[in-house]
């Protein structure tokens, strides 16, 4: 469980690290704030896993076997 006043990155971790890198290396204030969508804090681990898989399916070529295993986990 996350601590109060903290957030979990569900989608966009690479973008977060890129933004942080840009801020640290350029010291440009336009990289000091990150726009984000905050999801339901009551989301279950299954809800979060589904959201991560949906995000990754759009970006990564996932082998069919891995995709099938993920679907099976979701169904269970």
CA angle 7, 54, 66 (to 5 degrees): 115
Is 5 part of a structural domain of the chain? no
Is 8 part of a structural domain of the chain? no
Residue 59: band (very low, low, confident or very high) from pLDDT cuts 50, 70, 90: low
CA 64/CA 9 separation, integer angstroms? 26
Q: What is the DSSP string of 13-59?
A: HHHHHHHHHHHHHH--GGGS----PPPPTT--HHHHHHHHHHHHHHH
Which domain does 65 fall in, by range?
13-75
Q: What is the pLDDT of residue 7?
A: 76
Q: What is the pLDDT of residue 62?
A: 67
Burial of 70 (0-12, 13-18, 19+ CB in 10 A): middle
Domain count, the chain: 1
Is 59 part of a structural domain of the chain? yes
1 vs 8 pLDDT, higher one? 8
Is 3 part of a structural domain of the chain? no
Q: Which of 12-16, 33-37, 64-68 is least confident?
A: 64-68
């Amino acid at each position: 469980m996350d601590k109060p006043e903290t957030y979990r990155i569900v989608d966009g971790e690479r973008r977060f690290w890129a933004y942080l890198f840009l801020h640290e290396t350029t010291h440009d204030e336009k990289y000091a704030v990150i726009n984000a969508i905050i999801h339901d804090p009551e989301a279950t681990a299954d809800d979060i896993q589904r959201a991560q898989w949906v995000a990754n399916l759009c970006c990564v070529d996932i082998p069919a076997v891995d995709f099938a295993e993920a679907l099976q986990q979701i169904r269970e």
